[in-house]
């Protein structure tokens, strides 16, 4: 192990990977945009976990509230065609949309990273077969593939998330493979094999830890893309069934009233856009810090 440790990447003072260098690079990349993005994501997460703290209205019950009221102090996003509070539906819809996005990214991250690591480490015919399968995934438009999977699995939040996750496998696989190929040619990996390490022990103890940072940065970026894809499925009617609030479904329900009640589509759409941009900003910041 001493030989492997001496050959492994170091982080001594003054070297590119030193703690001082990393702290300096982190401060340089964390600007106002990243801080605002973090606050936006924090609010969205709080919506998903504690929606009752942000609104007193029932998202599925209009009660005696008039329909299609404009934004006001009582109803920040107005009311929809049945008198339900639009802001309450957006807040309660965060749990569905964010949960689905996390499941989708989890599927893509776990499956894609495993495929990429095995392909990049084994090489040869294993690499060829796995990467050709990934090429097939890349050749199919993401929305078409996700729609096909949802039709097979059935409608619902988790099924939509799995469908979106499958479309993300290829991106994770290609990135993790390129990182695995780079790490696999390092001297400390050769020393690990020379010391009697098995394929899986070297993969888990050396290749995976040294190649995971870019993959995790991609995972953060993919959360925004997953939210968009899941919202698209919900908008088309393939996601969470009504009356459960979900961001794509909320926008779809208001599209017939764009001319008379623009707030039913514009304000929820703005929320989705803000959260997607926030995840992309944080993902880009993590990528710069870890590169």
Residue 24 has pLDDT above 80, yes or no: no
Predicted confidence (pLDDT) per residue in 234-257, tens digit: 998 888 888 889 999 999 989 888
What's residue 1's pLDDT?
44
Task: Find tokens 């039913």 and name the residue.
Answer: 264
Contact 77, 71 (CB under 8 A): yes
Region of poorest pLDDT, from 73-77, 132-136, 141-145, 287-291? 287-291
Query: What residue spans define the domains of the chain?
Result: 91-291
| CATH value of 91-291 in 2.40.50.180, 3.40.980.10, 1.20.950.20, 1.10.3720.10 | 1.10.3720.10
Return d(Cα 93, Cα 248) in angstroms, integer.
9
What's residue 208's pLDDT?
87
- Confidence (pTM): 0.84
What's residue 54's pLDDT?
94
What's residue 84's pLDDT?
92
């Amino acid at each position: 192990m001493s030989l492997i440790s001496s050959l492994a990447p170091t982080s001594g003072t003054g070297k590119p990977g030193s703690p001082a260098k990393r702290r300096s690079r982190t401060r340089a990349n964390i600007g106002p945009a990243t801080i605002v993005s973090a606050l936006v994501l924090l609010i969205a997460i709080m919506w998903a976990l504690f929606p009752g703290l942000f609104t007193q209205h029932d998202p599925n019950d209009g009660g005696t509230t008039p329909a299609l009221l404009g934004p006001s102090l009582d109803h920040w996003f107005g009311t929809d065609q049945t008198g339900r509070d639009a802001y309450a539906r957006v807040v309660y819809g965060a749990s569905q949309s964010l949960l689905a996005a996390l499941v989708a990214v989890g599927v893509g991250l776990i499956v894609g990273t495993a495929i990429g690591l095995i392909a990049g480490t084994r090489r040869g015919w294993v690499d060829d077969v796995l990467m050709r399968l990934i090429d097939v995934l890349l050749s199919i438009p993401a929305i078409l593939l996700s729609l096909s999977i949802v039709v097979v699995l059935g409608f619902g939040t988790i099924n939509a998330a799995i469908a979106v996750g499958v479309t993300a496998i290829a991106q994770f696989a290609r990135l993790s493979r390129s990182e695995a190929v780079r790490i696999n040619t390092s001297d400390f990996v050769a020393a690990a094999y020379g010391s009697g390490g098995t394929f899986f022990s070297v993969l888990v103890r050396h290749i995976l830890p040294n190649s995971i940072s870019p993959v995790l940065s991609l995972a953060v970026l993919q959360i925004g893309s997953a939210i968009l894809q899941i919202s698209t499925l919900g908008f088309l009617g393939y996601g969470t069934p009504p009356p459960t609030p979900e961001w794509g479904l909320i926008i779809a329900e208001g599209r017939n009233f764009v001319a008379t009640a623009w707030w039913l589509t514009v304000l929820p759409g703005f929320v989705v856009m803000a959260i997607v941009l926030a995840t992309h900003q944080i993902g880009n910041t993590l990528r710069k810090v870890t590169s």
